Amino acid sequence: MYIYFDFECTQLNGIHVPNLCVAHRVCQCCDHLPINEPCKRCEAFGPRRHVFQGPKTLKDFMDWLLATTPNAQGQASAMVNKDAISRDMTGNSY
Ligand SMILES: [Zn+2]
């Protein structure tokens, strides 16, 4: 299973705060299907497209990600944290 996501951020006082995230979940059976088409193999995880908005965007995304990937909680968290740190969630790369 793969999770693709993209964040949009607001910027206040030089700090970027995520306020929109669109995430797509795909498995090897549906990675070629339009995102709105259901997948018999992974439909138990719910819709394949999720949109998170507002001040709790990052928390809501992480809650969903960890619930969607319960067997990979540590890896998912580490991956997102590493990505968040490397891009500073601000668009600034390090
Ligand atoms: Zn699938």
What pLDDT shows up at residue 5? Answer: 93
State mean pLDDT over 63-70. 82
- Structural domain including 49 reads 2-85
- 92 in any annotated domain: no
Confidence at 1, pLDDT banded by 50, 70, 90: confident
pTM across the whole model: 0.70
* Three-point CA angle 49, 19, 53, nearest 5°: 45
Separation of CA 43 and ligand 1 centre (Å)? 7
Separation of CA 83 and ligand 1 centre (Å)? 24
- Mean pLDDT over all residues of the chain? 81
Nearest to 18 by CA among 5, 1, 29, 32: 5
- 35 in any annotated domain: yes
- Enter the tokens of residue 15: 């700090």
Ligand 1 ion local residues (Cβ < 5 A): 27, 29-30, 39, 41-42
State mean pLDDT over 54-83. 74
- 93 in any annotated domain: no
- 32 in any annotated domain: yes
What pLDDT shows up at residue 71? Answer: 67
How many domains are contained in the chain?
1
Separation of CA 34 and ligand 1 centre (Å)? 11
State mean pLDDT over 54-72. 85
- 90 in any annotated domain: no
